[in-house]
Amino acid sequence: MQAFVRFRHDLAKFLLVPLLAFAGQLFTAAFAAENGDMTRYVRFSDDTGTHNGILDGDAIRVLDGDPLFDDGVSETGRTVARGDVELEMPMDPDRVPRVFGVAGNSNNPNGNPVEVEHPSWFGKATTSLARNGDPVEVPFGATNFNFEGELGLIIGTEGRHIPESEAMDHLFGVVVGNDWSENDWCGEGRGIEEPSHVFCKAGDTFASLGDYMVTGLDLSDLQLTVRLDGVVAAQGSTADFRNSPAALISKLSHYITLKRGDLIFTGTVAPPQLPGTRRQLWQDDVVEVEIEGVGMVSNQLVRVTRQTVSGPALPEPDGVSAYVRFQHEDGWSFGMLDGDQVSELDGDPVEGGAAPTGRSFDLADVELGLPVDPEQPGRKVLSVAANYHPVDGMPSQVPHPRYFFKASTGLSPDGGEVQKPPEAEMMIPEGELVLVIGRSGRHIPESEAEDYIFGVAAGNDWTELSWVASDRGVRPLKLVGKATDTWAGLGNMIVRGLDYSDLGISVRVNGELLSEGRTSTMVNRPARLVSYLSRYMTLEPGDLIYTGAMPVVPGMRRNMEVGDVVEIVVESLGTIEQEVVSMPAWPF
């Protein structure tokens, strides 16, 4: 098994999407349609590097950029033979922001249709992405690992609160995919005795894609076929979707801003396997997924080797250092905070290699923002539940930490506003220590895990408790119960070199104490959290792990109200103060 370890060097500036860029995205969407005809876009490698192109029979017409992520892309006039190049994943995995999916989205053609108001959303990781032909890992301890052949929607234009009538204008194209799943873990039937729902979907290689991004295709009735070792194991049609592609885009965007390049798996066919074909998949099994007009993806299964794979080691910290990201008259920069002075750096310190530029600013003359670049594609943001011992009870043991996905669009700064949906029944703040990963790694031993943590920050893991625990269709589910926009509060500095084993954390609402405690009472300590997570997915510089909330003062937990002001204080890491504001109501 080759672990997927990637390093990013480019920095994106934290700006609102300007009108010109938005117009450029619309131009790209128009280019994708190519006069309404179906077009197959590919990425390919040859001896000159990796390129994008349009597949035309056995030839590829080469483009001068990426039609999904770049504006103003055009043909170069060069043509290459398909047989002379190697096809890559059609989406550049280093530029994909997030991967989402939905469960239970197909009606059984032999049964009565079922209406689902709130789709059962889940998150996958960008490190889950795998090419056509790549090996797919059977996770350690799996008892119900299986295929899910699905249509993937590729977002081409950013949007939030997108009306269903306009949703397809935000679609770039589609791809055939396999949403590999450990279905027992999805249900969490054994609780803390098995991995949580995050790992049923988001392990490395659990999102394999075909060779093409296809545009100009009618998605209303595409036939999908899955073959297991050459035998047809599932068949169905997109005509049986409970929520159409337009509805899925619209409903997900109500809670989460969709970014250019986001990928949405639309759900497997029903029934997911033909009679007599369902079984646990094992190494050497080969699964093919084929969708009419879109293409095919084929992968062979392998066992996880559990071999540690690591990126370059982090330098030893030189004492305690505070890293910030700040806005000045020339834009945004990273820097080091020293008293009332900010020394500018020439890059992101978490990515490695950042050096002083020689410029220094008075703290009073700049505005501190999020300490990480919120536009960095692929950043994983995860949170842990039930990770502190009870105040007056027996110490807990949690062999499988209860992880949840948050979203990078959920990141919100000190002094920012946090959106409350009117339909929220128990929206609460959770003050937490946040781990900032600084070194890539997979299968990291617990004894070495601290070496992968760049630093720590203060965090507020906003949560809608009733959604996290709800049943399908009644209300929003686990993903949006943690991943809604603005629900990942983050302090304005990352501190490196600090002993964070016994820091005090307190949460106050309108000045009244909600919870307080110390990080020394964690059930699973940071090293254990990092090591466990890396069993299933590659960690990368910039990934964030919210480590869990303290028990609440008895009688103080309540649903937050618009106008509430929440203050999180983490010893040595500063304060996060945020006000609750309203967001539009669920329109469906």
* 271 and 159, same domain (yes or no): yes
Question: Which among 33, 57, 87 is the end of a domain?
Answer: 87
Does residue 55 lie within any of the structural domains? yes
- pLDDT for position 474: 55
- pLDDT for position 471: 60
- pLDDT for position 475: 64
Residue 28 is part of a domain; what is its CATH number? 2.30.30.370
Number of domains forming the structure of the chain: 4
- pLDDT for position 187: 85
* 248 and 358, same domain (yes or no): no
Taking the alpha carbons at both ends of the chain, their separation in whole angstroms is 44
Q: Distance (Å, rounded) from C-alpha 250 to C-alpha 266?
A: 13
Question: Which among 87, 107, 129 is the end of a domain?
Answer: 87
Q: Are 550 and 505 in contact (CB under 8 A)?
A: yes
* 117 and 173, same domain (yes or no): yes
- The confidence band for 9, taking pLDDT boundaries of 50, 70 and 90, is very low
Q: Per residue in 79-129, pLDDT tens?
A: 999 999 999 999 999 999 999 999 999 999 888 999 999 999 999 999 999
Does residue 65 lie within any of the structural domains? yes
Does residue 355 lie within any of the structural domains? yes
Does residue 188 lie within any of the structural domains? yes
* 275 and 333, same domain (yes or no): no
* 396 and 364, same domain (yes or no): no
Looking at the chain, the whole-number percentage of residues with pLDDT higher than 90 is: 84
Residue 511 is part of a domain; what is its CATH number? 3.90.850.10
Does residue 204 lie within any of the structural domains? yes
Does residue 13 lie within any of the structural domains? no
463-475 average pLDDT score: 76
- 571 φ, ψ (degrees, to nearest 5): -50, 130
* 103 and 82, same domain (yes or no): no
* 417 and 497, same domain (yes or no): yes
Q: What is the DSSP letter of 77?
A: E
Least confident of 12-26, 348-362, 461-475: 12-26
Does residue 3 lie within any of the structural domains? no
* 126 and 270, same domain (yes or no): yes
* 74 and 177, same domain (yes or no): no
> Residue 288 belongs to what H/E stretch?
strand 286-291
Q: Are 257 and 314 in contact (CB under 8 A)?
A: no
- The confidence band for 36, taking pLDDT boundaries of 50, 70 and 90, is low
Give the closest residue to 382 by CA, choosing from 323, 435, 446.
435
Q: In what order do the strands lie in the sheet with 565-570?
A: 417-420, 574-582, 565-570, 504-509, 512-518
363-374 average pLDDT score: 97
- The confidence band for 531, taking pLDDT boundaries of 50, 70 and 90, is very high
485, two tokens: 């926009």
* Lookup result for tokens 């002001």: 565
- The confidence band for 70, taking pLDDT boundaries of 50, 70 and 90, is very high
Q: Per residue in 322-340, pLDDT tens?
A: 999 999 999 999 999 999 9
* 299 and 329, same domain (yes or no): no
* 286 and 402, same domain (yes or no): no
315, two tokens: 């330098």
Q: Are 556 and 396 in contact (CB under 8 A)?
A: no
Does residue 8 lie within any of the structural domains? no
Domain that holds residue 29: 20-87
* 566 and 447, same domain (yes or no): yes
